[in-house]
Amino acid sequence: MARIKREQDRDEKRDEIVAVARVLFIEEGYEATSISRLASTAGVAPNTIYWYFKDKDEVLVAVLDAELSARMSEYLALPAMSPAERLLWVANNLERVSRLVGTVHSRLAQSPVINTWHERFHALSEEMLRLELQQAGIAPNKIEALVKISVFTIEGLLAHPLPEEQKRAICNALVAN
């Protein structure tokens, strides 16, 4: 019992740090948020972070997981839509978090934890998109390439913001054929 109580405390504190990191990483960026800043915002000493996380990348992974599950429930609660509309929704919805997407891509070569998170995330996204396109009656032999192109396009839209008009045109063009 006591042990369980302890572990609850530990997880709560960890979650608190993740909550703070989530705001800072998203609003100011991962690189711009130093461990010191994160720590002082969370009300602890810098090295305390290292009691709960191996390194800064592990904090990022925790933030990514938190953010992903939040977004995922929003997505699953979405009403019926055409694939193009869903794509546009995703592109727009991920925009708030585009800084993090860039950070993941830039760190995945150096950080194994981020690399494996990234792989899992792509596998998940592509699986969902594949299903979506199948249900929309896209020719099966076109689906694999289209899945990749769509994922790349969403990433591109996040990295290079465009006016709503063009985003819509692009999403429509993608699923038109």
Residue 159 CB, nearest approach to a copy of itself (Å): 6
Measured from the CB atom, the residue of 65 and 155 that comes closer to a copy of itself is 155
Measured from the CB atom, the residue of 77 and 176 that comes closer to a copy of itself is 176
35 torsion bin: left (phi>0), alpha (psi -120 to 50), beta (else): alpha
Q: Tokens representing 69?
A: 């599950």
Residue 51, interface with a copy of itself (CB under 8 A)?
Answer: no
Q: How far apart are CA 89 and CA 168, in angstroms?
A: 10
137 torsion bin: left (phi>0), alpha (psi -120 to 50), beta (else): left
Residue 101 CB, nearest approach to a copy of itself (Å): 10
Which member of 45, 162, 169, 173 binds DNA (CB under 7 A)? Answer: 45
**Choices 50-58, 61-69, 78-86, 96-104; region in contact with a copy of itself by CB under 8 A:** 96-104
Q: Tokens representing 145?
A: 């390439």
Please say whether the dihedral angle defined by the alpha carbons of residues 115, 117, 118 and 123, taken in this order, is positive or negative.
Answer: positive
Please say whether the dihedral angle defined by the alpha carbons of residues 68, 74, 95 and 155, taken in this order, is positive or negative.
Answer: positive
Q: Among all chains, which residue has been given the structure tokens 């969403």?
A: 154
Site string for DNA, 9-38 (x = CB under 7 A): xx--x-------------------xxxxx-
Which member of 105, 112, 123, 161 binds a copy of itself (CB under 8 A)? Answer: 105
Residues that bind a copy of itself (CB under 8 A): 29, 31, 99, 102-103, 105-106, 109-110, 122, 142, 144-146, 148-149, 151-153, 155-157, 159-160, 162, 166, 169-170, 172-174, 176-177
